[in-house]
Structure 1
């Protein structure tokens, strides 16, 4: 977590006058912005007092102010919010250990909880929760109007307890799905040999991500007698995670150099993150699979390998979560904290990920083109999403390779195309083409 200490001090409003030596007239300058701010704070206090005295039922002052803080922060972007003291303590536990829950990355959209991606080998994944699903009720009670933090808190609980969520999915009737909470463990990379090639599936970027990828490559190298003939890194449905792990995972496939940079409000607030020298999978042809649910750290890795000419990216455009949230404690956490967006992510070539995501070199759909316009919500579609400063730049429309209409629904067309690319003998030429 990144900690930012707020400046503390007082501001005095000073009225300045210019006096003419001939007519003694006074010219008053416009009130400072600080004065206007103080007037708005007075207005807030007045509204609070009115609600306390005149509202139809008694109100809780603490809840009113917490909701006001959340309203202010959530009006900035979908990922900023106020964290209560209790939630602040829970957040520290969640980011450092295991917890009882369902296993899915979620965000807030139009007052509902929206699934970015379920995590592999969790109750959500096994129950059939899909990226793009909307959760509207928990155990029969509406969660409309709750903050994301409050909704997530309701989904967590003791392992072994059942929970029923109401799911709205495009072109389907609302459904109730019952799951049993489990301890959500830190998932490491899974690997296997597929059609004579190495395959690594990375479900999220927790603190074991690099360790899992390194182990996978070493084990695959043994199976191939020393060198992997080709490697598929599957980041589909990976909602992201820790920034440092995205840099470390990228380092496995790069021999040093820049992986990602973050830029804040001012030009001087720029940080560059470089990979370590000593590429582990040297000269191994790589295809990275991404989709609309690949977000954050997944996009950092895909963008770095794409910009550095180290891999061909195949699949569909990623989610576009290109912003950095800092957890800023208030009075050391005694008053909770702020989860606030403070920076944007940029690929080594200087491309902002925010809102636009990473476009694949080869666009391949997972499902056939049935003529319907599929709802593929991404970061840019979320209310108050931060705009990409280059969003007016014209981009070519992707030419998508769709599976045939009679394609086996249990098949994996994107994976098949990745295997075909690596075994087709034209990988090097294709890589050079995309870099050109």
Structure 2
């Protein structure tokens, strides 16, 4: 192996640089208003830093660097172990390069090694190659090409957290909780999230066939035509019976806080008796926007969420309500289901713990891990997405993998929920549904929404009677 020794020496010298305390880059604490991170060795700012994101992710400001400097006092024994382990990695890469059945270049081998290292940590950590980094940026801006689902991982298989409204996946009837067993006939078991997303996204008009596993039935195939996914984060604002307002948030992207404020301004002209905030099938999004929404319903300085990382590495940080508008006198109900995740759970947990809203529906998804997207100074347009903290509700609950329990449980089976969604969509977009199609789900009943309205009307009546006494 004529190139083994120089390649190994290069890697070992890089390792020695880390051991000596030189950081390639350094990330701020979670949150767009986070205090500055500790000083690091001055390097040119990394390029292509993405905007800041939670849950599906937290992103650093442009011009910052990745990780705190490693300890100065690494022992000789520790450094020897590092040399030996990197030598093992280098030798393995060279053997793959020389003997694998298909010819691979070194970049593909190195990228695969990084993917494996990060995806082995947890389902949400990963290496983002340039195409994936650009796709993530498009998603946070609310526009991208694909089939329109938010995915997680369960048991090594891609899991549909929620289909995006008006997307090909939504129209085809994919449901929260569906597992993607295969993509184009190839097993999906063992793929990481980025690899799945690369296979699902593509040019609008092209097709992709998924094999879906759903509880209670045999696996089945669904062929979807990719489209440009445009995500309107706030939809359906209207007044229901008994002067109860309704507002649905589909995800937390860059304009969500402002869109909610505008919708509330329009609804507030109707002398509302209460407000239903519908977060069902909302897979999350930006931490900053979750805070921007929650603070509109809470008194100033009320705790919204706390993030806690590894002790001594990422400090605990608490986010409180700020902003100028605080709609605190209006009775509220929040609707959740198993497609409610991440940033949507932050809003739910904040208002539930503050006793500001009654939560109705099914137990939420349970994603309370925070990822930072860190630009790599050594490779432009590449990033790593790394889990650095968990978030806790104001009452100290850590709901990761368990979810938020509603105050009033109102089950709505997946098939019934899909019929409710289709009826709702037909009411909001009647031109998209011919009369015979609307007849298919005309009798669908949203029992969760009905229960929320009843609860708010009852609370209003009870409050009025108490005031009279």
TM-score by length of 2: 0.73
Closer, same or farther in 2 for the Cα pair 1:158/1:420, shift >3 Å?
Answer: same
CA distance in structure 2 between the aligned counterparts of 1:13 and 1:347, rounded to whole angstroms: 37
Q: Which stretch shifts more, 86-95 or 294-303?
A: 86-95
Instruction: After TM superposition, list the pairs within 5 Å mapping 1:164-179 onto structure 2.
Output: 164-179=209-224
Aligned residue runs from structure 1 range 14-25, under 5 A: none
2:139 to 84, 89, 94: 94
Judging by fraction of residues, say which structure has more helix.
2
Q: Which runs of 5+ in 2 are unaligned?
A: 1-51, 53-58, 415-441, 464-469
Q: Distance in 1 between matches of 2:358 and 2:345?
A: 14
Aligned-pair CA distance for 1:9: 7.7
Are 2:438 and 1:421 equivalent residues in the alignment?
A: no
The more displaced of 299-308 and 352-361 is 352-361
Equivalent residue runs for 1:17-96 within 5 Å: 31-32=77-78, 34-96=79-141
- Match of 2:335, SS state, is strand
Equivalent position SS for 1:63:
helix
Any idea what the Cα deviations from partners look like across 1:194-239, whole Å, max 9, x if unmatched?
22211111111111212222222222222x2xx2101111101100
Question: How far apart are the structure 2 equivalents of 1:9 and 1:292?
Answer: 40
Query: 2:157 is matched with which residue?
Result: 112
Is the 2:249–2:279 contact (alpha carbons within 8 Å) kept by the matching residues of 1?
A: yes
**Aligned position for 1:135:** 180
Q: Distance in 1 between matches of 2:267 and 2:460?
A: 23
Report 1 or 2 for greater relative contact order, CA contacts < 8 Å, sequence distance ≥ 6.
Answer: 2
Structure 1 unaligned spans of 5+: 16-30, 369-407, 430-436
1:203 lines up with 2:250 in the alignment: yes
- Other-structure match for 2:387: 341
Q: Aligned equivalents of 2:233 and 2:364: distance in 1? A: 22
- Asked if structure 1 preserves the Cα contact closer than 8 Å seen for 2:181 and 2:212, the reply is yes
Alignment partner of 1:220 is 2:267: yes
SS of the residue 1:424 aligns to: helix
Number of residue pairs the alignment of both structures matches: 371
> Who is 1:237 aligned against?
281
Using the TM superposition, give the Cα deviation of residue 52 of structure 1 relative to its aligned residue in structure 2, in angstroms: 3.1
**Superposition deviation, residue 88 in structure 1:** 2.5
Mapped to 1, the partners of 2:304 and 2:75 lie a distance apart of: 48
- Checking the alignment, whether the CA contact within 8 Å between 2:283 and 2:342 is kept in structure 1 is yes
Tell me: CA distance 1:335–1:419, structure 2 relative to 1, closer, same or farther (3 Å): closer
TM-score, structure 1 normalization:
0.78
For residue 300 of structure 2, what is the aligned residue in structure 1? 256
Q: CA deviation at 1:81?
A: 0.7
Give the alignment's Cα RMSD to 1 decimal.
Answer: 2.6
Asked whether the equivalents of residues 148 and 229 of structure 2 are also in contact (C-alpha less than 8 Å), the reply is: yes
